[in-house]
Amino acid sequence: MRAVKSSGNKSTELALIRLFKKYSVKGWRRKYKIFGNPDFYFPNLRLAVFADGCFWHGCRCKTKKPKTNVKYWHKKISRNIVRDRLVTITLRERGYLVIRIRECQIKKGVLPKRLKMLFKP
């Protein structure tokens, strides 16, 4: 578990950067210091974008479930889901727009409609 890093993940963050470039999305920053540490932040829009890995954030698309230490993993993923909700609610209360994109959505190679609408050429 120590080998899993919270930033620079190829299947989420780096893939999303490629999508941003593909769709000419500009103005994003990484490692911007606001509550919840979003993966990408757009200061002009007050938009926080989170790129969530399916396994770590409890997406139902992930068919592989751990076979060992099941209680630990269930508790860990449940805590992540609760934290995600808290971060989203808190940021929205503070006036930020929040978009969470799952790994399975990123793999499809298309930006979510909510995000595309903000960056129409």
CATH number at residue 40: 3.40.960.10
Confidence of residue 120 (pLDDT cuts 50, 70, 90): low
| Domains in the chain, number | 1
pTM of the model: 0.85
Q: What is the number of other CB atoms lying within 10 angstroms of the CB of residue 67? A: 7
Q: Is residue 1 part of a domain?
A: no
Q: What's the CA gap between 104 and 11, in Å, rounded?
A: 9
Tokens of residue 69, six digits: 């230490």
Judged against a pLDDT cut of 80, whether residue 10 lies above it is answered with no
Asked if 24 and 32 touch (Cβ cutoff 8 Å), the reply is no
Mean pLDDT of 36-62: 90
Q: What is the number of other CB atoms lying within 10 angstroms of the CB of residue 80? A: 16
**pLDDT tens for each residue of 85-111:** 999 999 999 999 999 998 888 888 888
Asked if 62 and 39 touch (Cβ cutoff 8 Å), the reply is no
Q: Is residue 117 part of a domain?
A: no
